[in-house]
Structure formats: C-alpha cells, structure tokens
Chain A
C-alpha cells in the first residue's frame, strides 16, 4: 500500500503496478480518495480536523483485509479479525511485563482447528530483570489472558525466542 501511495505521489507506474489486480484496485481507490480530499480542500469551509486520522484509519483497514483469523461464536454469518490487530494486542501484552520488549509476532492457524492459533514471538530482555524462565512464564500468562479477554481465541502453541538482552543503563 505504501508503495502504491509513493508511486501516485511521484506520478509513476512500474510493470508490477500495471499488471497486479490488487495494486490497480488500491490505486483506483486512492485516486478517488485524492479527488474527494481535493474537493474538501477546495471547499471554502474548514476541512474536518480529524480528516488525516480518518484517512490513515481507512488505509490501515484496507491493508489489513488480507490476513484474517476466523472468530468462533458467530452464528449469523462469517466473522474474522485482522491478524495484524491480534499481533498488536499480543505485543502490547508482552511489553506489559517489566523488562520485556516484544520484537516480532507471527501467528499461524492450524488447519481444521477453528479458534486456535499458534504464536511465534521474539523478545528482548533487560539484563537484571530476573531469571528468563520466570519472565517468559509471565509473558505466556499475559498472552493467554489477552487472547481470551480481548480477542476470543486461544493458542495451542506459543514459541518464545529471546533474541536480545540489553543492559539496564541503556533505558
């Protein structure tokens, strides 16, 4: 999405954007949006103060339509949640443990196991925050609580990998 915006700003197209159906759709939507915002700018009255925020929310929503996780409990039609949104919830939950910083979060779905996911997360730990085993146990607990309380999914597998340790004085 960012590449399409950059190309529009620069007035250029490449081979991929000319042939990719998704990029063409995104480009048309962005061109329509630019026309509408131009009309708002030309409008003599003040543009809505929240316009930029609304545009960014719409761009994020558009970009998040691709990878979704099915939600359980819906009976009157399909229901899903953005994988990016769930990853943000999980990273925030891990960050809430003192001395832990979530670096990346990858979510996969086991075929045939609706409502159940596998989480692979990389973490940085602050040196001196305590034994890693205890910190990782706390992270697992927070992840499970966030998944159940904010999303409505549960993880059958959580892989945590410590990829960095930083000294306390760097904070």
Chain B
C-alpha cells in the first residue's frame, strides 16, 4: 500500500517539514500556520488517510520544503497573533526552524522564507 508519506516523494522532505512546522507553531507570536488551497487539499487528504488507517500523519500544512543538492529550502506561511511585530516573529521562526531541523534531521537548511498572510486584530 502506498502511504501519503511515499506520495510526497522524499521521506526526508516530510521529516524536515514536520520539524519546521512544529518549531514554527511553537514560536511566540505565531497564531497558526496557514496552508493555501493546495496545502489544504493535502491536509484534508491526510486527515482522510488518518481516519482510514488510524495512523497519525504529521501536520505540515503551511510548510513547503524543496530539496536542492541535499540541502533544504523551507517556505512557511503563517498568521501572527498581533502581540509581537510580524518582522520579529518571522526572524524568530527562521531561527527556530533551522535549529529544529538540525536537531531532528541530518538535513542542512539553506534558507527559511516566511510569509505572514494575516495579523490577528484585537478582540
């Protein structure tokens, strides 16, 4: 049986994306990671796969990883909670992602692009 992990191609990509997503989500000032339409499609299909198989799949929606000659280019899209300037949040996410990927995988990270698509307004 082919799993979504294999469907994505390089398994290393998913491990890098999983480490990056966890680190980004845990960064102060990050409200959520935000997938686009295609990312949401992948997220929904992973949820269906989890329901069908009972196996957990890492939530990497909002993170894209491209491998080039053994190094990773990470792309993160997120919403901030508005408590910390978006520029500071983006810089902190970059540092957290590089550290987390280095700690959990043997893949070096060449760059981390951060896109802030939304800033939460005070309620």
Contacts and interface: CB of A to CB of B under 8 A. Distances in A.
Interface size class of A (residues with CB under 8 A): 35 or more
Contacts of B40: 33, 36, 54-55, 58
B21 to A, nearest CB: 15
Interface stretch (A59-67, A127-135, A158-166): A59-67
Contacts of A59: 37
Contacts of B97: 76
Interface string A85-125: 11011001000000000000000000000010000000000
B28 interface: no
B117 A64 contact: yes
B116 A76 contact: no
A45 interface: yes
A77 B94 contact: yes
Between A32, A35, A68, A115, the greatest number of chain B beta carbons within 10 A of the residue's beta carbon is seen for A32
A19 interface: no
A105 B35 CA distance: 26
Given A36-B41, A79-B114, A150-B82, A89 B36 contact: no
Contacts of A68: 115
Given A71-B87, A89-B121, A29 B115 contact: no
Nearest to B62: A61
A150 B120 CA distance: 9
A115 B86 CA distance: 12
B8 interface: no
A150 B89 CA distance: 10
B115 A80 contact: yes
B122 interface: yes
B41 A152 contact: no
Between A30, A36, A62, A76, the greatest number of chain B beta carbons within 10 A of the residue's beta carbon is seen for A76
A81 interface: yes
Given A29-B37, A39-B44, 10 more contacts: A30-B37, A32-B38, A32-B41, A40-B48, A61-B118, A74-B87, A82-B115, A85-B118, A150-B85, A152-B88
Interface of B: 34-41, 44-45, 47-48, 51, 74, 77, 80, 82, 85-88, 90-91, 94-95, 97-98, 109, 111-119, 121-122
Interface of A: 26, 29-30, 32-33, 35-37, 39-40, 43, 45, 48, 54-55, 57-62, 64-65, 68, 71-82, 85-86, 88-89, 92, 115, 148-153
24 contacts: A29-B38, A30-B37, A32-B37, A36-B44, A40-B48, A45-B51, A58-B40, A60-B117, A61-B34, A61-B36, A72-B87, A74-B87, A74-B90, A74-B114, A76-B97, A79-B94, A80-B115, A80-B116, A81-B119, A85-B116, A89-B119, A148-B85, A149-B85, A151-B85
